[in-house]
Chain A
Amino acid sequence: MTDATHTPDARIGLPRLTPGRVRSLAMAALGIAVLLALWWLGGWVVANDPDMFAFADFAPAPTLAALWDIVRTGEVIDMSLPSLYRVGAGLLIAAALGVPVGIAIGRIGWLRELTNVPFQFLRMISPLSWMPIAVMVYSTWDGAIVFLITVAAIWPILFSSAAGVRRIDPSWLKVARNLGASPFHMLFTVILPAIAVDILTGVRLALGVAWVVLVPAEYLGVTSGLGYSINDARDTLDYSRLAAVVVIIGVIGFALDSLLAALIKRFNWVRAAH
């Protein structure tokens, strides 16, 4: 139980190339190759079909060429930054509201009973259905988009925080009380560290939803961002560019998710069973 696998460096440092790891890397590479092959096959079918010939630019070769153009000119930064800002702001607001409310409903029984039905009801409403209202309420398009992302992102964070609080070992709280902990200490020394992983798991789920909601939200009046770029490429019939933006959305989404997965691993204090 005291071997090297449990020392912090082994968890944080670069992973060693064990046979298992080589295998999982190889499988990932193979999976991507299969996806590319299917994409290429689809492109070939479309190009040889007289009815769909106009859409041949969706195939891998034109797409990757357009992608290279977007990356080379630095345009990728220009179109991603506004989107990342909107998702980041939305997630931040969602966490700032969701974590405290989640802790409160996790700790206070009557509040949980009171809010359960309304929250489940609100959660099931597609964030995009708020779109017309958001546009009326907010004076800027950016404000409306951030609102839509917040609405999408708040529920996973809130419910995950609440579930984390309910799983806290009651004896941890008793020990703290016995040692004279103030409510401030209780929150920052016991509760928040205890549920850090639950919060991050909620943020990871929220990010997935937010990233999905982002693109249709950016079909709104804004003139920047990844969703706008897709809409714009469609209007100018620039299909290779459209497909390239789709690839960029996938790559950024995957990278953000991996980042959160790494954070979860870093803050996870649960030891694997000995």
Chain B
Amino acid sequence: MFARLATPAPVIDANNDKVQQRATARGTKRGAHLAVMGLSHAYKKSDGLVLKDIDFEVQPGEVLALLGRSGCGKSTLLHMLSGLSLPSAGEVVINGNTVRAPSPNWVMMFQAPSLYPWMSVAQNAALGLRFARRSDEIAKRIPEVLDLVDLGSFADRNAQDLSGGQQQRVALARSLAPSPEMLLLDEPFSALDAFTRRSLQRDVRAIAKQLGLTLVLVTHDVSEAVRMADRVLVLDANPGRIAEDTAIDLTDEQREGGCDRFNAEHVRLMDLYTQVAHGDAAPTEEFERN
């Protein structure tokens, strides 16, 4: 395991011919169009609002980060985008249809990989296809997605024998297998070490761009937002509202960090984030409801 960690995982290059051909060969759909309109939410009627008057739109293929402190409701918002929970008011519209339930067309990735320990890597990755009664696609599709996340040779291993980063890659393969139009990431790299986190941030963005997926990620980490997102919404807390909407204008190389452009964007976003955070009424306690 340590030997594997010591060698950097190869960057998944958007110009990689093999993967590119494969993506076009299976006729990848373009990413989903997402619109959130007048969304507000309270857990109970008697409670105050956790989210208030949220309006935004995400274009197909765009990578959007929701940046905010713990307790600002960003994770709750993401659950509503996925259809795992429903808002008290307003609606989430994907490709023109109001979201009312989860769908294999938009898949959420959680902080914990939550792989099933009685299954192999390949069986875990194939779950979405099985649930969608598309088992006939498993034999062809699973090796493809495992290659895509750089775990091609791990198909028959038990999920428990993998490192945390590898498990999160399996979770990514599991999310990608049903060919979704949008991925929703709920701080899925926060439990990983810095090195593994970097390589996954890079690879997930590259995969999303390569497949044309829409990506919405929730994070409290400014550098994660700068590395991954085309656009960042900074959320205010108590109740959660969109305080800032800003584009991150960097090339993929600049996102690797260590250059002036990256540093400038990082400082700019950090300033925005700090201003918004200081403007808040401080959250009484940290909580994230799932």
A92 at the interface (CB under 8 A from B): no
Contact of B131 among A2, A182, A269 (CB under 8 A): A182
Q: Indicate if B290 sits at the interface (CB-CB under 8 A).
A: yes
Which residues on the B side are within 8 Å of A269 (C-beta)? 117-118, 160
Which of A174, A270, A271 is packed against the most chain B CB atoms within 10 Å?
A174
Given contacts A2-B1, A271-B160, contact A178 B116 (CB under 8 A): no
Q: Indicate whether A177 reaches chain B with its CB closer than 8 angstroms.
A: yes
CB-based contact A189/B130 at 8 Å: yes
Smallest CB–CB gap between A270 and chain B, Å? 7
CB <8 Å contact, B290 and A185:
no
Within 8 A of A (CB), among B75-116: 82, 84, 102-104, 107-108, 110, 112, 114, 116
| Pair A185/B131 contact, Cβ less than 8 Å | yes
- B127 x A176 contact (CB < 8 A): yes
Closest beta carbon of chain B to A127's beta carbon, Å? 34
Are A179's CB and B174's CB within 8 A? yes
Give the complex CA separation of A261 and B118 in angstroms: 18
A178 touches B84 (CB 8 A): yes
| Least CB separation from A8: chain B residue | B158
Give every chain A residue within 8 A of B127 (Cβ-Cβ).
175-176, 179, 181, 189
A181 CA to B116 CA in the complex, in Å?
14
- The docked-state distance in angstroms from the alpha carbon of A189 to that of B127 is 9
Q: Is B112 within 8 A of A171, CB to CB?
A: yes
- Give the A-B contact count at a CB cut-off of 8 A: 67
Chain A nearest Cβ from B95, distance in angstroms: 17
- Contact digits for A89-127, partner B, Cβ 8 Å, 1 yes 0 no: 000000000000000000000000000000000000000
B178 close to chain A: CB less than 8 A: yes
A32→B71 CA distance, assembly (Å): 64
List of A residues within 8 angstroms of B110 by Cβ: 171, 174-175
In the complex, what residue of chain A is closest to B117 when comparing beta carbons? A269
- Give min CB distance, B4 to chain A, whole Å: 10
Contact of B104 among A169, A180, A270 (CB under 8 A): A180
Complex interface residues of chain B between 1 and 24 (CB less than 8 A to chain A): 1
Q: How far is the CA of A117 from the CA of B200 in the complex (A)?
A: 51
Interface of A is mostly: helix
B161 lies within 8 A of A1 (CB): yes
Does B132 belong to the interface (CB within 8 Å)?
Answer: yes
Assess whether B128 is interfacial by the CB under 8 Å rule.
yes
- The answer, yes or no, to whether A265 is at the interface (CB within 8 Å) is no
Contacts of B290 in A (CB 8 A): 174
Known contacts: A1-B161, A2-B161. The answer to whether A178 contacts B112 by CB under 8 A is no
Interface residue count on the B side (C-beta < 8 Å): 26
Q: Interface digits, B212-230 against A, CB 8 Å rule (1 contact, 0 not)? A: 0000000000000000000
Q: Shortest beta-carbon distance, B44 to chain A, in Å?
A: 18
Q: Check A193–B108 contact: CB distance below 8 A.
A: no
Which of A190, A269, A270 has the most chain B CB within a 10 Å cutoff? A269
By the criterion CB–CB under 8 Å, are B102 and A180 in contact?
yes
Q: Are A174 and B114 interface neighbours, CB within 8 A?
A: yes
Query: Which of B1, B117, B119, B131 touches A179 (beta carbons < 8 Å)?
Result: B131
Q: Tell me if A178 and B107 are in contact (CB < 8 A).
A: yes
Q: A1-B1, A271-B160 are in contact. Are A178 and B118 (CB under 8 A)?
A: no
A130 at the interface (CB under 8 A from B): no
A192 to chain B: closest CB distance in Å?
Answer: 10
Q: A1-B1, A2-B161, A179-B174 are in contact. List 12 more A-B contacts (CB 8 A).
A: A2-B1, A175-B114, A176-B131, A178-B84, A179-B104, A179-B107, A180-B102, A181-B131, A182-B131, A190-B116, A193-B116, A193-B119
Q: List 28 A-B contacts (CB under 8 A).
A: A1-B1, A1-B161, A2-B1, A6-B158, A6-B161, A171-B110, A172-B114, A174-B110, A174-B290, A175-B110, A176-B127, A176-B131, A177-B84, A178-B82, A178-B107, A179-B107, A179-B131, A179-B132, A180-B103, A182-B131, A189-B130, A190-B116, A193-B119, A194-B118, A196-B118, A269-B117, A269-B160, A271-B160
